[in-house]
Amino acid sequence: MKRCAIYTRVSTGDQHTETQMLDLRAMAAQRGLDIVATYTDTISGAKARRPGLDLMMREARRGRFDVVLVWAFDRLARSVRHFLQTVDELSRLNIEFVSFREQIDTGGPLGRAVVTIVAAVAELERSLIIERVRAGLRRARLEGRHIGRMPLDLDREAIFRDRQRGQSLRQLADTYRVSRATIHRVLRHASVVQENVA
Per-residue pLDDT tens over the stretch 9-48: 988 777 888 999 999 999 999 999 999 999 999 887 666 6
pLDDT higher than threshold 70 for residue 195: no
Mean pLDDT of 80-84: 79
The C-alpha atoms of residue 52 and residue 74 are separated, in whole angstroms, by 15
CATH of domain 3-125: 3.40.50.1390
pLDDT higher than threshold 90 for residue 164: no
pLDDT at 62: 96
Tell me whether residue 119 is exposed, middle or buried, using C-beta atoms within 10 angstroms of its C-beta: 0 to 12, 13 to 18, 19 or more: buried
Give yes or no for a contact between 41 and 51, defined as CB atoms under 8 angstroms apart.
Answer: yes
Beta strands in the chain (DSSP E): 3-10, 34-42, 67-70, 96-99, 104-105
The C-alpha atoms of residue 13 and residue 78 are separated, in whole angstroms, by 19
DSSP 56-70: HHHHHHTT--SEEEE
| Alpha-carbon distances, residue 47 vs 2, 39, 54, 71 (angstroms) | 30, 16, 11, 18
Q: 149 or 1: whose pLDDT is higher?
A: 1
Residue % of the chain over a pLDDT of 70: 90
DSSP 20-50: HHHHHHHHHHHHT-EEEEEEEEES-TT-S--
H/E stretch holding 169: helix 169-176
Give yes or no for a contact between 10 and 16, defined as CB atoms under 8 angstroms apart.
Answer: yes
- Catalytic residue annotation: 11
All structural domains of the chain with their residue ranges: 3-125, 156-197
Closest CA to 52 of 20, 22, 80: 20
Q: Which one-letter amino acid corresponds to residue 113?
A: A
Task: Enumerate residues 6+ apart whose C-beta is below 8 A from 94.
Answer: 66
Mean pLDDT of 106-116: 74
Tell me whether residue 62 is exposed, middle or buried, using C-beta atoms within 10 angstroms of its C-beta: 0 to 12, 13 to 18, 19 or more: exposed
